[in-house]
Copies of this chain bind each other. A is one copy, B any other.
Amino acid sequence: MSEALKPGARIGILGGGQLGRMLSVAAARLGFATHIYEPGANPPAGQVADRVTTAGYDDAEALAEFAASVDVITYEFENIPTEALDILEAHRPIRPGREALRVSQDRLTEKSFLRDLGLMTAPFADVTDLASLEAAIARNGTPAILKTRRFGYDGKGQVRLKTPEDAPAALADMAGAPAILEGFVDFTHEVSVIAARGLDGQVACFDPGENVHRDGILHTTTVPARLSAAQRTDAVLLAARILNALDYVGVMGVELFVTPAGLIVNEIAPRVHNSGHWTQNGCAVDQFEQHIRAVAGWPLGDGQRHADVVMENLIGADMDRVPELARERDLALHLYGKAEVKPGRKMGHVNRIQRNG
């Protein structure tokens, strides 16, 4: 732990949502103080952070002051403007590093990176105009999904094409944004691997979780996932290959489609991930602490779980169920302190601990 931050050091977190909030709590548990940088007022993470800076990513002065006040910088989301990163990096290390952000900020770059690593992805093609879209459809067929290359999350910025005739309308929906056409993958279920890599190159993976989505948003993650021993090994090796290729430091979420032909990488997120929330009640070191350990140069937890867990997201009006959930045995509530309930908004999650016997 020669390069390791000592308790008392300060960790800067870009983004004040629920992920920043849970990172902040994990950092505190290791004796670190956190400083949140967030453009929006009253961010959920601010309630459990030592300091909060409310400023935009175009505020060079605020960014520089923030960077100078901390020992290392990390983030809860990948769409941080390059110019902001340039300013921050002049002062303090950013972990995970720039390469991970560059790759994951753009679906086309990400898919190309994964393919070049020898990993399987959905068929994909760059779409710049109607001609390139029609050529992609001719090659990969329909149904297919047209997605913006950047700034998509939770199913936003996506249009499904049922037939080739849907092409013009789908392209219009992109409103001129660079896009990528992805072919459909015939998968039995989706799993994700929450993988971590330390400053010393050590890699540790949590047990894969099985994900179920509703309306394009993660609904539940169940651990253990339905996977054969061979698939489990494949999932871990594949995740390690991605982390090593990026010289990655921190936690990454790797979403995988399980198919008869093998595991297909759906997408990667260079941060703690919703499908890793189960680790809070299943592991001695959860994904949030694992991430903080990595960016602080500490040894990683080994990722082994001591309990099976089913995580369920609380979205929008699910908040009305809190009184009833609070009565449920072996259930751990995790609410995000968001002032306003909105449809589709992630308000919290619960972890149901599966008691053996």
CA distance A202 to B50 in the complex (A): 36
Of the candidate stretches A157-165, A213-221, A227-235, A320-328, the one touching chain B is A320-328
**Contact, CB under 8 Å: B333 / A304:** no
A107 to nearest B CB, angstroms? 34
List A residues 318-349 near B (Cβ within 8 Å).
319, 322-323, 326-327, 329-337, 339, 348
The reply on A1 being an interface residue by CB < 8 A is yes
**Contact, CB under 8 Å: B307 / A30:** no
**Contact, CB under 8 Å: B339 / A327:** no
Tell me which residues across on chain B come within 8 A of A1, comparing CB atoms: 323, 326
The reply on A31 being an interface residue by CB < 8 A is yes
List A residues 12-40 near B (Cβ within 8 Å).
21, 24-25, 28-34
List A residues 27-73 near B (Cβ within 8 Å).
28-34, 46-50
**Contact, CB under 8 Å: B284 / A335:** no
**Contact, CB under 8 Å: B31 / A28:** no
**Contact, CB under 8 Å: A331 / B29:** no
Contact of A47 among B50, B299, B322, B332 (CB under 8 A): B50
A225 to nearest B CB, angstroms? 20
A284-B281, A299-B327 are known contacts. Are A31 and B307 too (CB-CB below 8 A)? Answer: no
Tell me which residues across on chain B come within 8 A of A331, comparing CB atoms: 284
CA distance A193 to B342 in the complex (A): 42
CA distance A30 to B326 in the complex (A): 9
**Contact, CB under 8 Å: A24 / B7:** no
CA distance A290 to B111 in the complex (A): 46
Closest to A293 in B: B326
**Contact, CB under 8 Å: B304 / A307:** no
Tell me which residues across on chain B come within 8 A of A337, comparing CB atoms: 7-8, 28, 31-33
0/1 interface trace, chain A 142-186, chain B, CB 8 Å (1 if under): 000000000000000000000000000000000000000000000
The reply on A302 being an interface residue by CB < 8 A is yes
Tell me which residues across on chain B come within 8 A of A306, comparing CB atoms: 307, 330, 353, 355
The reply on A124 being an interface residue by CB < 8 A is no
Contact of A46 among B30, B50, B299 (CB under 8 A): B50
CA distance A34 to B47 in the complex (A): 8
**Contact, CB under 8 Å: A299 / B326:** yes
**Contact, CB under 8 Å: B307 / A329:** no
**Contact, CB under 8 Å: B7 / A25:** no
A1 to nearest B CB, angstroms? 5
CA distance A47 to B34 in the complex (A): 8
The reply on A263 being an interface residue by CB < 8 A is no
The reply on A249 being an interface residue by CB < 8 A is no
A306-B355, A327-B299, A330-B284 are known contacts. Are A335 and B29 too (CB-CB below 8 A)? Answer: yes
CA distance A333 to B329 in the complex (A): 26
A-B contact pairs, 30 of them (CB 8 A): A1-B326, A4-B323, A7-B322, A24-B48, A25-B25, A28-B47, A28-B337, A29-B333, A29-B334, A29-B335, A30-B333, A30-B335, A31-B322, A31-B335, A31-B337, A33-B337, A46-B50, A47-B49, A281-B284, A284-B329, A284-B330, A284-B332, A284-B351, A284-B353, A293-B326, A298-B326, A299-B326, A306-B307, A306-B353, A306-B355
Nearest first, the 5 A-B pairs at minimum CB distance are A31-B335, A47-B50, A1-B323, A284-B332, A48-B48
